Amino acid sequence: MIPVDTAIIILIFLFSILKPYVYHSTNLASEAYSSPSIILSGRKNDGTRFIIDDFREAYYWLKQNTKKSTKIMCWWDYGYQLTGMANRTVIVDNNTWNNTHIATVGRAMASPEDEAYEIARFLDTDYVLVIFGGYSAYSRDDISKFLWMVRISAGVFPTVKESNFYNNGIYRVDQNASQTMLDSLMYRLCYYRFGEIRTTNGEPLGYDTARNCEIGKKGYDLEYFEEAYSTERWIVRIYRVLPLPQREKKMKSRYNDLKSKSSGSTDDSESSELDNT
């Protein structure tokens, strides 16, 4: 039987130990659950807090500047958020059960730009959205998740090989990155125009603050995609899938010619014009 005085001392000792833990856990819980995950926050060197609102900013831009019928290709992680806040259709989302469909999006991200363009057109995609943290030191971006996209894609499409995205067994984005990595759509969309920006004093242009390295490819242009919008901290980057100018121009010309001549009879000159369209 423990004496009452001893029991009181033990309880006081346990309380003094557990109180800081409870206080710490409560603070962590309040930080984690008091704000939606779509809004991020950080602290400056002086301790002041700042809000990162890039996700909401990007979804609002899509809602205000694209048609309701717009289809957006992005990794499935952001599907629900994008559908709910931008009210736009996504190619894959958190409830996509078709592994081949998810792998197809991963294959597009892992392919060179011209091949990715064909896949995007096949999926009837209007915009491509990527998450990029190299400017703002946001480490949970698509470059960090990219290997999972490659692995899922490789499980369905044998032409995609994960080993091609490594250099001597190391996954990297600097000057020693593999050529396959440098040519991939994911790399080109995330780092487009990034080589013109100085993110850190004392570091070269195009310094990735999330991976602490200078990127390996700068000063390139996009041929099949066009930058439509990048948020304040470049965390969300949106690209328009360019149309096929020649094909669309021919279709439009033929349609207009046929429409203008459908109301009247077609003479020899008109028939010749239609044949040449």
- Is 52 inside a domain boundary? no
Distances (CA, A) of 79 to 64, 89, 156: 18, 9, 21
- Is 253 inside a domain boundary? no
User: Domain containing 183 — which CATH number?
Assistant: 3.40.50
At residue 121 the predicted structure's pLDDT band, cuts being 50, 70 and 90, is: very high
Residues whose CB falls within 8 Å of the CB of residue 48, separated by 6 or more in sequence, listed in order: none
Q: Does the predicted TM-score (pTM) go above 0.85?
A: no
Question: Beta strands of the chain (E only): which ranges?
Answer: 40-43, 49-52, 71-73, 89-90, 127-131, 207-208, 213-214, 225-230, 236-241
Note the pLDDT tens digit of each residue in 204-258: 999 999 999 999 999 999 999 999 999 999 999 999 999 976 444 433 433 344 3
Provide the domain limits for residue 153.
68-245
- Is 212 inside a domain boundary? yes
- Is 88 inside a domain boundary? yes
pLDDT greater than 50 at residue 94:
yes
What total number of domains does the chain contain? Answer: 1
* Per-residue model confidence (pLDDT) at position 218: 96
pLDDT greater than 90 at residue 74:
yes
* Per-residue model confidence (pLDDT) at position 27: 61
Characterize the bridge pairing of strands 225-230 and 236-241.
antiparallel
pLDDT greater than 60 at residue 264:
no
At residue 104 the predicted structure's pLDDT band, cuts being 50, 70 and 90, is: very high
Q: How far apart are CA 217 and CA 182, in angstroms?
A: 7
Distances (CA, A) of 157 to 114, 123, 151, 192: 17, 16, 10, 27
Q: What count of other Cβ atoms lies within 10 Å of the Cβ of residue 165?
A: 24
